[in-house]
């Protein structure tokens, strides 16, 4: 029974998140329906990360098993045909060994959060950025972000409904840069807590506005209390960019 690995992109604004739900349409449901339409087989897909409602992906990785043999190109093109009415597309397909697991085999994940930092609201980028009309100090945000890099208890940046067994994570990289009218927050780690990136961005925005300092961010981290940190940034600014795996 061959195992297939997909790299997919999607507009998360059209779905209630990755995970299939009973009453609302999810990315997983759209993809599994396409697989069944192409292969005639009902499968369960496994993703590298369960993105929330409104969160986008450019490099989500998924695996599934089929009883029939297909070439990787046929899987990619056939699924894209059946997904033509959905804002989900297969960028790449590959045949992998039975030991590959989209979630458990992953060694790192990279997210990008986009803030549109200008007075006028977006037209073309609406739904893909967080519009913040007041000027933000990018240098201060980046300096404060370094307080969060490393191995910490991230309880202050963890959603109440987070199901992770431990609040401890190792944040490998957190950078804040300006790209024209946008501010980009890039976060890299092996794995993240539920809402961790969005909660960090919401906190760093307070720094950018001059309402908080780097010391305030450090104090919020040390308190290990969600109420000590800043608000949760909107989902639409967040994109899962890449999932890393060890080379074969």
| Average pLDDT score over residue span 120-148 | 98
CA 155/CA 174 separation, integer angstroms: 17
> What's the whole-model pTM score?
0.96
Does the active-site annotation cover 244? no
pLDDT exceeds cutoff 60 at 138: yes
Active-site residue identified among 23, 52, 77, 244:
52
CA 4/CA 92 separation, integer angstroms: 10
CA 42/CA 231 separation, integer angstroms: 40
pLDDT at residue 22, as a whole number: 85
Q: Which CATH architecture has domain 107-245?
A: 2-Layer Sandwich (3.30)
pLDDT at residue 23, as a whole number: 86
Total count of residues recorded for the chain: 248
Domain ranges for the chain: 3-96, 107-245
Q: What CATH number has the domain spanning 3-96?
A: 3.30.70.580
Question: Quick one: which of 123, 113, 111, 118 has its CA closest to 136?
Answer: 118
pLDDT exceeds cutoff 80 at 247: no
Q: pLDDT, tens digit, for every residue of 207-228?
A: 999 999 999 999 999 999 999 9
pLDDT at residue 164, as a whole number: 92
pLDDT exceeds cutoff 60 at 92: yes
pLDDT at residue 236, as a whole number: 97
CA 93/CA 145 separation, integer angstroms: 36
Better-predicted residue by pLDDT, 68 or 101: 101
Of all residues in the chain, what percent carry a pLDDT higher than 70? 100
pLDDT at residue 194, as a whole number: 96
pLDDT exceeds cutoff 90 at 200: yes
Cα of 3 vs its chain's centroid, Å: 24
CA 235/CA 116 separation, integer angstroms: 14
């Amino acid at each position: 029974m061959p195992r297939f690995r997909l790299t997919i992109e999607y507009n998360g604004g059209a779905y209630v998140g990755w995970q299939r739900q009973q009453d609302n349409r999810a990315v997983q449901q759209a993809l599994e329906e396409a697989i069944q339409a192409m292969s005639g087989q009902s499968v369960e897909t496994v993703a590298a990360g369960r993105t929330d409602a409104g969160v986008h992906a450019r490099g989500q990785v998924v695996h599934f098993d089929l009883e029939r043999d297909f070439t990787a190109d046929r899987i990619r093109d056939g699924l894209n045909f059946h997904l033509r009415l959905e804002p989900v597309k297969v960028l790449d397909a590959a045949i992998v060994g039975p030991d590959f697991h989209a979630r458990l085999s992953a060694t790192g994940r990279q997210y990008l959060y986009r803030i549109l930092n200008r007075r006028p609201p977006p037209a073309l980028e609406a739904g893909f950025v967080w519009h913040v009309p007041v000027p933000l100090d990018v240098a201060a945000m980046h300096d404060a972000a370094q307080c969060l890099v490393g191995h910490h208890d991230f309880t202050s940046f963890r959603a109440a409904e987070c199901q992770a067994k431990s609040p401890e994570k190792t944040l490998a990289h957190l950078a804040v840069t300006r790209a024209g009218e946008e501010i980009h927050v890039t976060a890299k780690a092996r794995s993240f807590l539920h809402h961790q990136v969005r909660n960090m961005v919401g906190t760093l925005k307070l720094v950018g506005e001059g309402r908080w300092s780097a010391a305030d961010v450090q104090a919020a981290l040390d308190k290990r209390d969600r109420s000590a940190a800043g608000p949760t940034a909107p989902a639409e600014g967040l994109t899962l960019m890449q999932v890393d795996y060890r080379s074969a």
